[in-house]
Chain A
Amino acid sequence: MIPIDTLTEQLKELAKKAFSADGIELLIGYQKGEDGKSKPAVFRSSEEVEKLVWDNQSGFNLANLAHRFRDKKVGILAQGCISRSLVVLLNEGQLNRNQLVIIGFPCQGVLGRDGQLHSACTSCQYPDPIVKDYQVEGTGISNQKDPLLELVNNIESQSMEEKYAFFAKEMSKCIRCYACRQSCPMCYCDVCFVDINKPLWLARTPDQQNNSVWNLTRINHLTGRCVACGACDRACPENVNLMYLIAKMNKEVKELFGYSAGLHLGDKPALNTFQPNDPDFFWGKEGA
C-alpha cells in the first residue's frame, strides 16, 4: 500500500490540477482538525488545497457534501465506497456527472470509533473507485473474508429470542440525534418522515420501540441503495451497531436480486425495476 504521506501529496497534486485544468469551484476533501485527526473540508482554491490530507481517520463520506454543493462544479476525493455513493446518486439523478471531477484513490480503510479498522472496511470488497477522472495508482485494502456477513449468518442461526435481545439492546442505545441519517449520502430527502408532525408518523420519544421503528425504516429506505460505506455507524455517538442491519439488508438484496448498489453507472436501483423472474415468495400464497 502507498505510504499515507505519498498518497496525500499525490491527492494534492491532482486536486490542484482539477482547479487549474477542470475549473472546479471547490474541492471536497479532508484537512487536519485541532485534535490532529482529519475531518471533512471544503477547499475553495488551489492554495487552500495545501491543507488537504487523507489518513485513516477520514471516515466521513464526502458524497454527502457533493449532494449539498450539486449546483456547483466540484472536485471530490473518492475511494471505492465514496465513488459507489456517487454512482448511486448519479443513477438516481441527484448529481450531474459533468459537474463532478472525481479524484480516485485506492483505499486503505478507515478507523472506527474504537480506533480499530472499521467493520465496513474489514468487510470491504471494493477499495478502488468505480468512477473517476483522476486516479492515484496503487493497491488498497484486500479482504479475503467478510466478517460482517459472518456476523449476519451467525445471528440468523440464533433463536428469535436471542436475535431480538441483540436487536433490542442496540436500539435502546439510540438517542435519535439523526447523525446516521445526516451523514448518509443516500438520505437526501428534503423532508424525512420523522420531521413531519402532521401526521406524526413517529413519536420523538427515544425509547427502544420508537428507535426500532426509526432505524428499521431508515434501513428499509436504503434497500438496494446502500453501499455499506459505514459512515452512519462511525457517526453514531452511541455506538449503535448499524453495520449488522446494513449487512443483513445488503445480503438480502444480493440474494434476491443479484444486485449490489453503486457498481455500474446507469444501473436502475434494484427496487425501481421489475423483472418477470424477480422473486415473489413474499407476496404470500394464493388463497392464503
Chain B
Amino acid sequence: MPLNPVNNPYLTMPVRIVKVSFESEDRSLKTLELQLINEQDRSQFHYLPGQFIEFSIPGKGESPFGIASSPSEDVIRVTVNRTGYVTESIHQLEEGDFAGIRGPFGNTYPLDLMKQKRVIIISGGFAFTTLSSLLDYLLEHEEYNITGYDLIYGARNPGMLLYKDKIECWKQQSKIKSIITIDRETPGWTGTTGFVPTIVEQSDIRPDQAIAVICGPPIMIKLTLPKLLDKGFQKDQIFTSLERRMKCGIGKCGRCNIGPNYVCKDGPVFSLQQLEGLPAEY
C-alpha cells in the first residue's frame, strides 16, 4: 500500500537552496534560504513565528531549526550552527543544491497575548533566529497594535551578531528601543558592552502590559530570569523557546519531553509558568 505523502509526517518535501551566506565571522553560522519545489507543498506550507522545520539531507539525517524568516517572505530562512554530523553536511550545501524539509512543527510565540502590549525581546548568541521572525511579523501586522518593543540582544563579539543589516533597519524604527551588546570591549565596537543578564538588570524595561520573550544559551536564560522576576514580571509574562535533541519533530519518538510536554509538539515556546514544577531538563 503506497503511503500518501500528504498524510505521512516522516516524508520530506523537496527544497532548493536559493541562497547561502556566512552569518558569523568565525564561519560557524551559515544562513540558508530555501524554496519549496512543489507547488502543492508551497500552497500547504504555512507557519507562524516560533515554529521550526526538520532539515533533511538524505544519507546524513535530520536536524531541527527554528524558522528565521517571516511568513510573508517567499523563502524559508534558517541559520545553522555547525556542531554535529547533520549541520556539518548542511554547511557543505551550495546554492542550487537540493535538500528536504518537514514541517512546520511546534507552537508559535503567544501572538494573541501580545496584542496591545509591549513586547520585550531578550536574546543571546544565535538563538535569535525565531525572534527575528517574530519581530518582522509583528512589525508587518499592525493589527496586533504592539505599543512598543524592547530589544536586548547580545553576542560574544561583533562578528557573532546575527542579521546585522536587519538590526540596522530595526534601529531606525521609533517603536523599537534596542540595546545591542557584546560581552567584552572590542576595538572598533562603540556600542554597549556587558552580558545580557546585567544589561537586563540595568535596563528600564517594565512589566506593565508587557510580554517578555527570552531565548539564548541555557546559562544566559538561567541568569536572566531572576532579573526579570526582580523587576516584577510574572511567570505567565515570560516566554522562552527551548531546544532539545529531537528526531521525529511530531511528538512520537519520545526524547524531547519535559514532564508531560513534548518540546517539539507542545513547545518549543513555553511560558515560565508552564515549566514550573517540571524537571529542568533543558
Contact = CB atoms under 8 A, between A and B. Distances in A.
Contacts of B88: 198
Interface residues of A, number: 4
A25 to B, nearest CB: 28
A198 B82 CA distance: 12
A188 to B, nearest CB: 25
A272 interface: no
B254 to A, nearest CB: 15
Nearest to A199: B85
Nearest to B60: A200
A200 B60 CA distance: 10
A148 to B, nearest CB: 40
B2 interface: no
Interface residues of B, number: 3
Chain B facing A: main interface SS: helix
A200 B89 CA distance: 14
Interface string B64-102: 000000000000000000001100100000000000000
A98 interface: no
A197 interface: yes
Contacts of A197: 84-85
A276 to B, nearest CB: 44
A199 B85 CA distance: 7
B255 to A, nearest CB: 13
Contacts of B85: 197-200
A197 B88 CA distance: 13
Interface string A186-226: 00000000000111100000000000000000000000000
Nearest to A200: B85
Interface in A199-255: 199-200
A197 B6 CA distance: 30
B183 to A, nearest CB: 28
B63 to A, nearest CB: 12
Nearest to A197: B85
Contacts of A200: 85
B202 to A, nearest CB: 40
Contacts of A198: 84-85, 88
A87 to B, nearest CB: 39
A127 B101 CA distance: 60
A280 B221 CA distance: 59
Contacts of A199: 85
A194 B63 CA distance: 20
B123 to A, nearest CB: 27
A42 B88 CA distance: 45
Interface of A: 197-200
7 contacts: A197-B84, A197-B85, A198-B84, A198-B85, A198-B88, A199-B85, A200-B85
Interface of B: 84-85, 88
6 smallest A-B Cβ distances: which pairs?
A198-B85, A198-B84, A197-B85, A199-B85, A200-B85, A198-B88
